[in-house]
């Protein structure tokens, strides 16, 4: 019996290593990276569970928790900040106790990682998808245009979760929503200006180093109750604000990418990825 247990543990460890390897490879090549609550309805007293997903077109694999890959992770409630506590390999990766009603914000920041593009065409396609053609023009003028292109990247992902009161709660006060809507000081961040569950047109502000980012593309994805994913793009105005119609129920994901040159460093470029997800009933 002990030998079987040992073999089982060995198999589990090998499976986890394989999953983490696949996840790290996908993170370097797939586009969207988001937090995905395992369900839409949450109540004070529940344990909030969220998957970390990485993929394309709002479809992706749930990744196991891998703390060394994270720079920060936690949950912001109306009255407190809860740090992430979990074991490596957990799926769902994020779990938090819900102690009060109101709008909550789960957030995650990854460590900086590096990826290489094997061809200029591959790099050009990535830049075109996120409306950074000017970067490719700059790269094309370089003397080293045919060399391997090295890029560092970081991810800043947020999920807004609405939490209702317990059925026997006698609290008459309205839950606070503003704490979860506040700018969190991330290097690149999508900030919702309204509670998404309460409006049919959600406005967001794109922030870069604490300043609004004008004329920046934001990709949006919506998955309806039938499982069909629709997508499109919106553009921020001179104040860094963009608005998306959210009349239809379902799951929403907003994604934006910032790209900049890294002169005098081993990597040529740096990309910062910001995402915001939420459910609409």
User: Residue 11 pLDDT more than 70?
Assistant: no
The confidence band for 24, taking pLDDT boundaries of 50, 70 and 90, is very low
pLDDT per residue over 212-244, tens digit each? 999 999 999 999 999 999 999 999 999 999 999
Report the chain's terminal Cα–Cα distance, integer Å. 50
Across 184-225, where does the E strand assignment appear? 188-192, 201-208, 211-212, 217-223
What's the pTM value of the predicted model, to 2 decimals? 0.87
The confidence band for 124, taking pLDDT boundaries of 50, 70 and 90, is confident
**Minimal CA–CA distance to 54: which of 23, 84, 75?**
23
Residue with tokens 């309205």: 174
Angle 187-189-192 from CA coordinates, rounded to 5°: 155
pLDDT the model gives residue 28: 44
The confidence band for 18, taking pLDDT boundaries of 50, 70 and 90, is very low
Phi, psi of 47 (to 5 degrees): -105, 110
Provide mean pLDDT across the span 119-130.
88
pLDDT per residue over 169-186, tens digit each? 665 567 788 999 999 999
């Amino acid at each position: 019996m002990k030998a079987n247990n040992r073999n089982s543990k060995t198999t589990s460890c090998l499976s986890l290593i394989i999953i983490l390897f696949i996840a790290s490879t996908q993170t370097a090549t797939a586009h969207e990276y988001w937090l995905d609550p395992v369900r839409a309805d949450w109540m004070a007293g529940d344990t909030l569970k969220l998957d970390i997903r990485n993929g394309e077109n709002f479809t992706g694999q749930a990744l196991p928790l891998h703390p060394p890959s994270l720079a920060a992770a936690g949950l912001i409630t109306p009255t407190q900040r809860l740090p992430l506590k979990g074991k490596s390999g957990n799926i769902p990766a994020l779990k938090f106790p819900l102690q009060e009603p109101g709008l909550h914000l789960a957030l995650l920041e990854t460590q900086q990682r590096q990826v290489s593009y094997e061809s200029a065409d591959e790099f050009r396609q990535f830049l075109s998808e996120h409306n950074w053609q000017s970067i490719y023009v700059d790269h094309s003028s370089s003397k080293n245009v045919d060399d391997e292109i090295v890029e560092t990247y970081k991810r800043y992902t947020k999920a807004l979760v609405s939490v209702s009161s317990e059925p026997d709660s006698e609290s008459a006060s309205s839950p606070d929503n503003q704490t979860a809507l506040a700018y969190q000081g991330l290097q690149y961040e999508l900030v919702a200006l309204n509670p998404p569950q309460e409006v049919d047109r959600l406005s967001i502000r794109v922030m870069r180093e604490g300043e609004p980012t004008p004329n920046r593309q934001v990709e949006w994805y919506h998955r309806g109750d039938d499982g069909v994913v629709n997508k499109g793009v919106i553009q921020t105005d001179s104040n860094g604000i963009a608005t998306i119609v959210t009349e239809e129920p379902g799951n929403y994901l907003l994604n934006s990418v910032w790209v900049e040159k890294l002169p005098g460093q081993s990597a040529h470029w740096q990309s910062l990825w910001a995402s915001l997800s939420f459910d609409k009933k």
